Amino acid sequence: MPPLVNLPKEAAHFNLALQLHKPEHGPPQRPPKIDNAQARIYSEAHLTPNRRDTMSADWLSNVEPMVYKSRIKVPYTWSVGETGSRFFVELRDNKRLFGKRCAGCNTVYVPPRKMCGRCFRDTDDWVEVGPEGTLQTFTVVRYSHELQPMAAPFAYGIILLDRASTGLVHLIGDTDLAALRAGIRLAPVFREERSGTILDIAYFRPVGSR
């Protein structure tokens, strides 16, 4: 029995990224009119039909709906701040990972924070974390858009590095995607050339358990 859902048509309703910016095929469909019986029920009950259905449509049928395609270009340079800078410098120069601990609630934050949002106070000491960690949750991404650093299918994970209290979001690579499970152990794979960004870690990959 063929599926009742005509997927290419329905898929158009979903994430445009899946379509990779393909333009509409053919002229856009005008919304269907509500028929008179429905219109009566709805206007009595509360609803009025879509105003376009009730407008004198002569001139409207000659209107070509124009679409102006553009981009907004607003370049950014985010200040990392001293706390984040230390994290990225250690990552770039020494391939070491650090979290920052709040003595108030004993949370070791990764990524490190200058302040603890729960206690609303400055965090205290730096704690070296990882490099290995445990996978908390993950997903295998099977669609593509231009912001992704890897080609689909690929995996993301939230990794609780050893000695950290909070998980780090990153990519999982060099792995059998079908074998991914929460609870497995992972280790970071550092890039040869590092510049002080989160992608100095190319990805995390599964390792044998301790």
Interface positions, 126-165, toward another protein (CB under 8 A): 136-143, 145, 147-150, 156, 158-160
Q: Which is nearer to another protein, 82 or 192 (CB)?
A: 82
Sign, Cα dihedral of 94, 176, 171, 195: positive
Among 171, 184, 186, 202, binds another protein (CB under 8 A): 171
> What's the min distance (Å) between Cβ of 137 and another protein?
4
Site string for another protein, 98-127 (x = CB under 8 A): -----------xxx-xxxxxx-x-------
Report whether 128 contacts 163 (CB < 8 A).
Answer: yes
Residues 6+ apart with CB under 8 A from 32: none
- Name the β-bridge partners of 152: none
Residue with tokens 């290995």: 132
Shortest distance in whole angstroms from residue 205 CB to another protein: 15
Least distance to another protein, CB of residue 28, Å: 5
Question: Minimum CB separation from another protein for residue 128, in Å?
Answer: 18
Per the listing, tokens 């000695």 go with: 163
Which residue's CB is nearer to another protein, number 15 or number 36? 15
Pairing of strands 201-206, 126-129: unpaired
Binding-site size for another protein (CB under 8 A) equals: 84
Question: Phi, psi (5° rounding) for residue 2?
Answer: -70, 150
Choosing from 25, 26, 56, 82, the residue that interacts with another protein (CB under 8 A) is 82
Q: Which helix (H) or strand (E) holds 138?
A: strand 133-141
| Nearer to another protein (CB atom), residue 103 or residue 198 | 198
Nearest-approach distance from CB 124 to another protein, in angstroms: 15
The CA–CA distances, whole Å, from 72 to 30, 67, 144 equal 28, 15, 22
